[in-house]
Amino acid sequence: MNLRAQSDDFNDGDDTGWTRFNPFAPFGAPAQFSFPGGAYRIQAALSPAPSQLGPARAGSLRSDVVYTNFYIAVDVIDWDDTVRQAFGILARVNNFGLGTTTGYAFTYERGAGVTMTSGDTDLSSIVCEPGVSCEIPVGIQTGPSSIHLDSAKDYRFVFVGRGPILEGRIYELPDTLNPILTIIGSDNTYESGYAGLVIYDNSGDDIGIRPDVTFDNYFATDVEPPRIQVESLFADLYLLSWPAEASRFVLQESAVLPGIASNWTDVPDVLLMGDRYNYGVETDPSAGAPARRFFRLVRR
């Protein structure tokens, strides 16, 4: 299946289209997957044998699209902040299963302390060691230390990959323009694979803990959806621009919002200058310009 994007708000109360990572189910310790309030809650079981099978972990994968470059976003709306767990986004995953999973992860780890200053984020490569345990995350880049997300708030996690460059961001909702954290690393081990979600016991305890996280509003595609930047040049003239890497997007305009398909028309005379597409907008009605114009980018 060749799709340009995947999304799931879980309002239908199921995870049709997802492949669950439930590694300890064969050993009588299954993870739980539920849909409270139209969200996606994943609860891992305690590892039945940490020294042989590794720590508690679970996840879910969209195995219908293979991504090379990727943009993956998901909202994290609830988690158990009393246990030391890691959770976040998987990308370029292959061989999804107990002792075999490979790929990349962007995760937040709540830290060992109970203060609002403990915790960190990581870009990791997931590898499998022969012997005791697999799905071992190997650090690529660790974000600024001493960040502790507030479980009373909602956050958007974003994981972006462009070739070997990997970037993780966290936004505090409802602000999706200004990340509270950005972390960038580089690794060329894995070229392509699937995308999904993961939760992980990061306590290092012999007994372990049960990770428990609720996600919502999952979205994945192969290029970051561009935002139109508006710059005032001088009176009544504005410059609209967006990144050149968004070459598959077309600028459209309409006189009404939200409008229907026939209200939106493609804008001609868009110029590629350097690393951005540009279009000048005249807003002076006395000069013959429309009194009101709305713009959007659509993918073709």
Q: How far is CA 130 from the centre of its chain?
A: 30
8-30 pLDDT tens trace: 999 999 999 999 999 899 999 99
- For the entire predicted model, the pTM comes to 0.85
Q: How far apart are CA 203 and CA 205, in angstroms?
A: 5
The answer, yes or no, to whether residue 131 has pLDDT greater than 80, is: no
Q: For the domain 229-299, what is the CATH code?
A: 2.60.40
Domain extent listing, the chain: 5-221, 229-299
> What's the confidence (pLDDT) of residue 20?
95
Q: How far apart are CA 197 and CA 159, in angstroms?
A: 11
Q: How far apart are CA 202 and CA 179, in angstroms?
A: 24
> What's the confidence (pLDDT) of residue 264?
95
The yes/no answer on whether domain 5-221 falls in CATH 3.40.50.300 is no
198-221 pLDDT tens trace: 999 988 877 788 999 999 999 999
> What's the confidence (pLDDT) of residue 1?
36
The answer, yes or no, to whether residue 156 has pLDDT greater than 90, is: yes
Predicted confidence band of residue 117 (pLDDT cuts 50, 70, 90): low
